[in-house]
Chains A and B, each alone.
Chain A
Amino acid sequence: MVGLQHYIILSAVLFCIGLYGALAKRNAVIILMSIEIMLNAANVALVAFSRYVTPQLLTGQIFAVFVMTVAAAEVAVGLAIIIALYRQKEKVDVGEVDLMKW
């Protein structure tokens, strides 16, 4: 039987993968993807908590919808900035972004 615990463990694992990717990867697009994974980890947790802790309320699920929406906006801006960077450097490697001390 799959219970709350399993979802939370899944979300924790996803979160850790995302965090690792965001901190360790050099490619800006991959970092953005890792951030998406972190947000989705939060979404899994929110929906699971909503289902198991407050089954009569929809707050958690609505929160998840908002997070997805905001994430889309964030990625849109992120990609725009990455394209601006690409036009200047022909690369999207954050290791190359070193005009200032990182």
Chain B
Amino acid sequence: MIWALLGPELLLAIFALAVILLDLAVKQKGVLAVFSIVGLLGSIGASLALWGTNGIALNNMLVIDKYALFFDVLFAAAAILVILASTDYVEKLKGFQGEYYALILLATTGMMFMASTRELVSIYISLELTSISLYILAGFLKDAKSTEAGLKYLLLGSVSSAVLVYGMALVFGTTGGTHLGVIWNAVKGLNGIADNPTLIMGIVFLVAGFGFKIATVPFQMWVPDVYEGAPTPVTAYLSVASKAAGFAVILRVFFEAFGRAPWLSQSWGMLFAILAAITMTVGNVVAINQTNIKRLLAYSSIAHAGYIMMGLAAVGLMESQLALARSGILFYLAGYGLTNLGAFIAIIAISNNTGSDLIDDYKGMVRRAPVLSLGLAFTLISLTGLPPTAGFVAKIYLFNAALQSGLLWLVIVGVLNSVISAYYYLRVVKTMYLGEPASTERLSSSGPLRVALTASCFGVLFLGVLPNTVIQVTEAIKFLVS
């Protein structure tokens, strides 16, 4: 039974190892991509088969509830799109294609565990499984920029996970347990912030450690460099899946362990509200002056982390809004994930041809690659939050959740930020549609990449036009709380 419950994760772990072995055997490296995608599809299938199970595994450390399974599907789907988009890119990797796919699968496995674990030790291990895989992937190209990205990501990531572990140690010391249920039992008996300085310090350290993962201000400084230097498919994966995994953990930990005691949850709710306002403002304002599209999207991803944190704040400030805010976060992550992947896939295709990530080199792109430009424009419009896209519905839906928790001021900040963001997103659209192209040469792109771009754009449109199909699912998702 337990093996069935862990099916999605175990399947991926096995495929990750198998892909390395297969790499030794086959000459035609395209097989590896197909093989990995088969594994991911199998994992999605296993997740869907488990839907509604509500199982507990490994000594109560893992819960297989709808929340975890939703993220399993999200991560695996993101990984599939990333692998499809990598097919041109891996040509540059010469002898290491097997490892590339294996690391993506391992990172995905780690994220899946992150979404379903409710015990500090296993949170730490799954988080590190993800992070270490991603450190290597960030430095995978082994050229100067990529190595630099890998090193920065590794050093800052390790510092943040050390902070996280220290926070966990403090929480463990004050509550006597590492299981979220045990921690909650201890927190239930406490009262007042001033009386529990060690616990509060531990929680602050947790916020700092997790904040690094989701790239909130002031733990965002790694983002632009790593996003710029890392191989673009990896950047896409980082910006979508890694961020989603961070939110998956934060929401579960903070709700289950600290979310049901008003004296505590009010404080971290307000903390997240303030961080959200600062994060989105910093992300959007700094993005305005970027000249490199990957850095622009890096700051944009910081801003979006800010929007999503509005949902966390809503949960903290009003426990009764949990269902709405959680559903808002999940829908936003799904919509943002598809949108951002679409944008990065278009960028991968364009930079494969032009060899440049500078926005100036996108001038007149619509005449060299009409479909890619339309795809990129459409995803940028979704990131801005204009209809009829996933971004529009996601923002309205999440803003509404924040409003229901009494965060009118934060909603106003969010809306104004969307206005600021329109400026730099539409500037890229403008460059593509209005500029004079540097050359008239048409761009070529591979079949799998076009499939991935089409899939994500249609996904964005679908979520924008018929959001209710997905919102019904996200609203049905509940935590299995001990």
On A, residues with C-beta under 8 Å from B are 8, 11, 15, 18-19, 22-23, 28, 31-32, 35, 38-39, 41-42, 45-46, 48-49, 53-54, 59-60, 62-63, 66-67, 70, 73-74, 77-78, 80-82, 84-85, 88-89, 94, 97, 99-102
Contacts and interface: CB of A to CB of B under 8 A. Distances in A.
Contact of A42 (B121, B145, B151, B169): B169
Nearest to B150: A81
Interface stretch (B158-166, B364-372, B381-389): B158-166
B166 A15 contact: yes
B148 interface: yes
A35 B152 CA distance: 13
B166 A45 contact: yes
B125 interface: yes
A70 B128 contact: yes
A25 to B, nearest CB: 10
Interface in B152-202: 152, 154-155, 158-159, 161-163, 165-166, 168-170, 172-173, 176-178
Interface of B: 120-121, 124-125, 128, 132, 135-136, 139, 142, 144-145, 147-152, 154-155, 158-159, 161-163, 165-166, 168-170, 172-173, 176-178, 224-225, 228-229
B155 A66 contact: no
Given A22-B155, A82-B151, A99-B145, A63 B128 contact: no
Nearest to A53: B176
Which of B161, B166, B228, B229 gathers the greatest number of chain A CB atoms within 10 Å? B166
A97 B125 contact: no
19 contacts: A22-B162, A38-B162, A39-B165, A42-B165, A45-B169, A46-B172, A54-B177, A60-B172, A63-B168, A66-B124, A70-B124, A73-B132, A78-B154, A78-B155, A81-B147, A81-B151, A99-B148, A100-B148, A102-B225
B158 A100 contact: no
A70 B130 CA distance: 12
Given A46-B169, A88-B144, A62 B154 contact: no
Please give me the 7 A-B residue pairs with the lowest Cβ-Cβ distance, nearest first: A49-B173, A38-B162, A45-B169, A42-B165, A42-B166, A100-B225, A35-B158
Given A32-B155, A70-B124, A84-B147, A49 B172 contact: yes
**Majority DSSP secondary structure for residues of B touching A:** helix
A85 B151 contact: yes
A77 B176 CA distance: 33
A84 to B, nearest CB: 5
Given A38-B159, A60-B172, A81 B166 contact: no
A100 B279 CA distance: 22
A77 B224 contact: no
A101 B225 contact: yes
Given A49-B169, A49-B172, A97 B148 contact: yes
Contact of A67 (B124, B150, B228): B124
B132 to A, nearest CB: 6
A28 B132 CA distance: 17
B158 A78 contact: yes
Contacts of B158: 32, 35, 74, 78
Contacts of A41: 166
Contacts of B173: 8, 45, 48-49, 53
Best-surrounded residue of B136, B142, B145, B158 (most CB of chain A within 10 A): B158
B166 A84 contact: no
B177 A100 contact: no
A14 B294 CA distance: 38
B196 to A, nearest CB: 14
Given A19-B163, A84-B142, A94-B151, 17 more contacts: A23-B159, A28-B151, A28-B155, A45-B173, A53-B172, A63-B168, A63-B169, A70-B125, A73-B132, A74-B132, A78-B135, A78-B154, A85-B147, A94-B152, A97-B151, A100-B148, A102-B225
Contacts of A19: 159, 163
A85 to B, nearest CB: 5
B162 A35 contact: yes
B162 A18 contact: yes
A75 B330 CA distance: 34
Given A42-B169, A45-B173, A101 B128 contact: no
A35 B178 contact: no
Nearest to B156: A22
A77 B135 CA distance: 8
Contacts of B159: 19, 22-23, 35, 38
A89 B202 CA distance: 39
Nearest to A12: B166
Contacts of A66: 121, 124-125
